[in-house]
Structure 1
Amino acid sequence: MPGLPVAAAWLALLFVASLAGTVAARRYAIRRDLLDHPGERRSHVVATPRGGGIGIVVAMLGALGLLAWWNPAQALPMALAATGLLLVSGIGWIDDHRPLTPWSRLAVHAVASVLLAAVAYGAGGQWVCALLAFALCMVLVNIWNFMDGIDGIAALQALVVAAAITLLANVAAARWIALALAAACFGFLPLNLPRARIFLGDVGSGALGYLLALAMVLAATGGGQATSPAAWVLLLLPPSAFFLDASLTLLVRMLRGERWWTPHVGHLYQRAAREVGRHWPVTLAYAAWAMVAGGLAFAIRDRPETFIMCSGIAWYLGGGILWLGSGAHRGLDSGLPGKQSG
């Protein structure tokens, strides 16, 4: 890894690349009429271009290449990661142009998750790490897609979680990827918050989930932490708001016998945005939750493993109770054809 001034210069370049890519994607989307129009299963009120996440993808492909250049030992893992990123973002890009079935997208996500599992196995040398990486990738890719429904929420949440990973990771590769992702998200947000002039699209939301999974896997499986459940628990605290809202909403829909794989506007963040009448306060509230959770993870990182495990369980239980107390489960409705955008 280079020194701080050189790394800072590269991060600034990644920010510019992401911003420029987002601007170019907006022009392309307007020219090709790739617009998300308001509807019953969407949270926005004006037609908005989609696919802006391609700028983040381009910047992060550059970041992965830089890491392989600086450290040749990372060349193969980064090649696998870049291939997985291209698969996830590529199927999302196609879906942004012409809707695909959920099962075709999941199949591609599974292949990308296998590649990330290979990265984890190479870093930690344990099959359990590979299995955890596969599961984490599948979950995060789809959670970030589910939660990309209002202005700024998915990109800002990814930025905060990436910043937390930077503080928690003892592995240089994980810190670099997390920092690069934060810079790339920062380049996208000027056109997405407080009022979205372009949405991430499936190309961006899935890519964010995949890249966060990559950073978390490298942080958990490197530095002698491969067998420590506490390392995984610490890393799962910052994205807990997304985990809780997405998983509990999905669970309730499944228990009700609804078509859980179809889009809807029943997540807690969507209900809150409708009640508030604006998106950005809800987006900032979710970011604040992630910041507090990241601060908790940083504060307890050196405590005994049992304490960390109990703290993580307590945090998720408390969040689940708050979710139920909000009444979000009573406001869920059946999904109808259409797509969420944010």
Structure 2
Amino acid sequence: MLFGVVMAGITGSAAATAWARAHARRNGLLDAPGERRSHAVPTPRGGGIGIVLVALFASAWLGWREGGVLWWCVSAGFSLVAGAGWWDDHRPLPAWPRLLAHIAAGACLAVGLWMQGAEPATVTLAFLLVPILVNVWNFIDGIDGLAASQALLAALGLACVLTGFGQLLAVAVAAACAGFLPFNLPKARIFLGDVGSGALGFLLAALIALGSEQRMPWSWPLLLLPVAACAIDSGLTLLWRASRGEPWWRPHVQHLYQRLARRFGHPAVTILYAGWTTVAIALMLTLIRFPVSLGWMGMAVFVVLSSGAWWRLHRGFEDGREGIGR
């Protein structure tokens, strides 16, 4: 069955992405270059609709197969995030309606897990993770291939610790990302858009919450390791901007990955972050077999070292001296 999921996910995502590219060109849905963008030519957006359709079909099919309310709640929350993103890609949507959609989506996932009998900690985790990861993935969708490749790796890592239908969804997400990436690497012919980046954030939050439900409660922090690279870059960048009194909520190009991309080019940075996440996933798969204290200690060491490396590299860049690399 997994082989069929992979093939259907890749094929469906690629076909929908090709359609989205033509649709964007017909309707003028192009991201123009600018000082808050990391690309140099107008590029279609909204290609993440292929990933959305694959994941929505997968979650609806799982709901039909299992008959429980969880997967229908996943589908509802996922549709809220993707719908808000699709709207924003076509006609700019103010920040508050988008945030409300993200919070409502987190509530949908939390309710589904609660009705399935999940522990309160898992329900709370699901509610909080959705708006956080939706926005993290929106933040990192700034250079060629990064957001989709990070989601692909994270989904594969989580598939290794999930069982049953949760594992099937993780494989479907990874396959959908694989179908999109040829359009986004080595030079983007279309971007994910808010419809794709938000959807990936929701899906990864759902997979982490499902993993928390299936495993011992102490292990859920380790399930965050596959998304650690993106979360650390996004979180520390926001803190850094806030500490300088800058409007951290506004678009900018001061993430570490953006600064590195202007210096070394997009493919090199996407590969670098893929290596960072691969190490994190390997660490998760190792530590999850260890006693609680060792697992948490290993995770803490990884986060501290990663944060230190981020700080050292970020401090090494001077504003205004990087050139555009896309």
Q: Does 1:238 align with 2:231?
A: no
The answer to whether the 8 A contact 2:114-2:123 is kept is yes
Structure 2 residue runs without a partner (length 5+): 321-325
Q: Is the 8 A contact 2:5 2:168 kept in 1?
A: no
* Counterpart code for 1:20: A
Query: Do residues 319 (structure 1) and 306 (structure 2) align?
Result: yes
How far apart are 1:299 and its partner, in Å? Answer: 1.4
Verify: 1:12 aligned to 2:7, yes or no: yes
Does residue 160 (structure 1) correspond to residue 153 (structure 2)? The answer is: yes
Aligned-partner Cα distance in 2 for 1:11–1:213: 21
Conserved? CA contact 1:36–1:48, under 8 Å: yes
Equivalent residues of 1:15, 1:186 under 8 A apart: yes
Shift in CA distance, 125/238, structure 1 to aligned 2, threshold 3 Å? closer
Q: Distance in 2 between matches of 1:104 and 1:328?
A: 35
Cα RMSD (Å):
1.6
* Matching residue within 17, 21, 29 for 1:26: 21
Look up the match of 1:69. 64
**Partner residue of 1:101?**
94
- Residue 204 of structure 2 is aligned to residue 212 of structure 1: yes
Q: TM-score w.r.t. structure 1 length?
A: 0.90
Number of the residue aligned with 1:338: none
CA contact (8 A) 1:124 1:222 kept: no
Corresponding residue of 1:193: 185
Kept after mapping to 2: 8 A contact 1:148/1:154 = yes
Distance 1:222 1:291 in 2: 23
Map of 2:41 onto structure 1: 46
1:299 aligns to 2:291 (yes or no)? no
Q: Which runs of 4+ in 1 moved over 4 A?
A: 328-333
- Contact 1:234–1:301, Cα closer than 8 Å, also in 2: yes
Q: Deviations over 1:57-95 (max 9, x none)?
A: 00111111222233223xx11111111111101111111
Aligned equivalent of 1:91: 84
Corresponding letter in the other structure for 2:285? F
Q: Secondary structure at the match of 1:108?
A: helix
Matched, 1:112 2:100: no
- Give distance in 1, aligned partners of 2:118 and 2:8: 34
Q: 1:56 aligns with which of 51, 58, 67?
A: 51
The aligned residue for residue 3 of structure 1 is none
2:126 is the alignment partner of 1:133? yes
Displacement after TM superposition at 1:260 (Å): 1.0
Identity across aligned pairs (percent)? 45
C-alpha change, 1:19 and 1:249, in structure 2 (3 Å) is same
Is contact 2:2–2:171 with CA below 8 Å preserved after alignment? no
Separation of aligned partners in 2, 1:79 and 1:68: 6
Alignment partner of 2:167: what SS?
A: helix
Segments of structure 1 that go 5 or more residues without pairing to the other structure are 1-5, 334-341
Q: Report SS of the residue matched to 1:327.
A: helix
Distance 2:111 2:315 in 1: 38
Structure 1 Cα separation of the partners of residues 214 and 5 of structure 2? 24
1:329 Cα shift? 8.3
Work out the CA distance in 2 between the residues paired with 1:25 and 1:168.
33
2:225 is the counterpart of 1:251: no
Residue of structure 1 in register with 2:323 after alignment: none
Counterpart residue identity of residue 315, structure 1: F
Aligned-residue offset at 1:293: 0.7
**Total equivalences in the alignment:** 321
Does the CA-based 8 Å contact 1:145-1:206 persist in structure 2? yes
How far apart in 2 are the matches of 1:249 and 1:329?
14
What displacement does 1:120 show?
2.8
1:328 is displaced (CA, Å) by 4.4
Letter in 1 for 2:65: W
Shift of 1:173: 2.2
2:40 is paired with a residue whose SS is coil
The residue number in structure 2 matching 1:337 is: none
For residues 297-341 of structure 1, the C-alpha deviation after alignment (integer angstroms, 9 at most, x for no partner) is 1112110011111111111111110011113486569xxxxxxxx
